[in-house]
Amino acid sequence: MTSRIAFQGEPGAYSHQACHDARPMMEALPCPSFEDAITAVVEGRADQAMLPVENTTYGRVADIHRLLPGSGLHIVDEAFVRVHINLLAVPGAALEDVTEAHSHLVLLPQCASFLRQHGIRGWVSPDNARAARDVAEWGDRSKAALASELAGEIYGLDVLARHIEDHDRNTTRFLIMAPDADTTRRADHMMTSFVFRVRNIPAALYKAMGGFATNGVNMTKLESYMVGGSFTATQFYADIEGHPDDAAVKLAMEELAYFTSELRILGTYPADPARD
């Protein structure tokens, strides 16, 4: 039986590209939303889910950190995917024919310089792959899509211009989620992700973080977000380098637990080589 990996978006989306690159032996399953991708795994229709968490240009992907703790899934891998944005049009179209570029709201500003240089107006589409599908269906040489080359292959579009993003290091980090945790040490460079809430005492966050500094554990990410519709209910998401069995990590986590009212490890997984 073929294993499946779920992603949010239509065929040809960048999340599809991430599945293609990181899990080439798995069948990619498109889903309308992040919640649907998670549900596909929970219900057994997919074995894993590919979820974007942050982009070097756009920043944090909305909703993901809120969804992870309650998903019932575990982080088993991370994948850094270089986001190359291309101008796709129907066969026979030339760059000078294009007056409109359709894509997701997030992608349009990332190609602002190119669009301005060529007098192309950006139009918002629900998804970059959807934009590619629409352009193929319209058959209009004046309309193009900003999307991946994979989307161009799927919908039969020509690449009029490659890698037109303003920033040459535009990268999205994805987390690969599965029903069962894999806590084995699969690489020398391991990462651990967790969420926590601090106790209601003065300087609780400062004290909770102290254990990582004194034990020499590198924290690569710390973000806060509201939960439960309250300004006073704050949850923190963190990534650290190391494995929970490492002596330094174990000491730091013990100190963190003392100052928290809730602490949950979301996953321990190998660091993507792009981190180094």
Per-residue pLDDT tens digits for 176-195? 999 999 999 999 999 999 99
Same domain for 174 and 74: yes
Closest CA to 222 of 234, 233, 209, 237: 237
Q: Helix, strand, or coil here: 123?
A: strand
Residue 184 lies in a domain: no
Same domain for 91 and 46: no
Q: Could you give the dihedral angle defined by the CA atoms of residues 251, 253, 255 and 256, in that order, rounded to the nearest 10 degrees?
A: 160
Per-residue pLDDT tens digits for 199-218? 877 888 898 899 999 999 99
User: Which residue is catalytic, options 172, 192, 260, 268?
Assistant: 172
Per-residue pLDDT tens digits for 90-101? 999 999 999 999
Same domain for 140 and 174: no
Q: Indicate if the alpha-carbon torsion angle 237, 239, 240, 246 is positive or negative.
A: positive
Q: How many domains, in total, are found in the chain?
A: 3
Residue 183 lies in a domain: no
Residue 79 lies in a domain: yes
pTM of the entire predicted model: 0.89
Q: The CATH number of the domain where 31 resides is what?
A: 3.40.190.10
264: which strand partners?
195
User: Which residue is catalytic, options 7, 34, 174, 236?
Assistant: 174
Q: Is-catalytic flag, 184?
A: no
**Domain span holding position 237:** 190-275
Distance CA 176, CA 181 (A): 11
How many C-beta neighbours within 10 Å does residue 196 have? 20
Distance CA 42, CA 32 (A): 16
Closest CA to 3 of 28, 21, 20: 28
User: Residue 272 gets which letter from DSSP?
Assistant: P
22: which strand partners?
none
Q: The CATH number of the domain where 270 resides is what?
A: 3.30.70.260
Distance CA 168, CA 82 (A): 9
Q: Is the pLDDT of residue 30 over 70?
A: yes
Q: Helix, strand, or coil here: 40?
A: helix
Q: Is-catalytic flag, 192?
A: no
Q: Which DSSP string do the residues of 163-229 spell out, in sequence order? A: ---SSTT-EEEEEEEESS---S--SSSEEEEEEEEE-SSTTHHHHHHHHHHHTT--EEEEEEEE-TT
Q: Could you give the dihedral angle defined by the CA atoms of residues 203, 206, 211 and 213, in that order, rounded to the nearest 10 degrees?
A: -150
Arithmetic mean of pLDDT, 103-117? 92
Distance CA 9, CA 65 (A): 18
Q: Which whole-number Å values give the CA distances from 106 to 62, 99, 173, in the listed order?
A: 11, 19, 15
Same domain for 199 and 150: no
Same domain for 78 and 46: yes
Total residue length of the chain: 276
Same domain for 68 and 174: yes
Q: Given this model, what pLDDT does residue 234 score?
A: 76
Same domain for 103 and 61: no
Same domain for 156 and 220: no
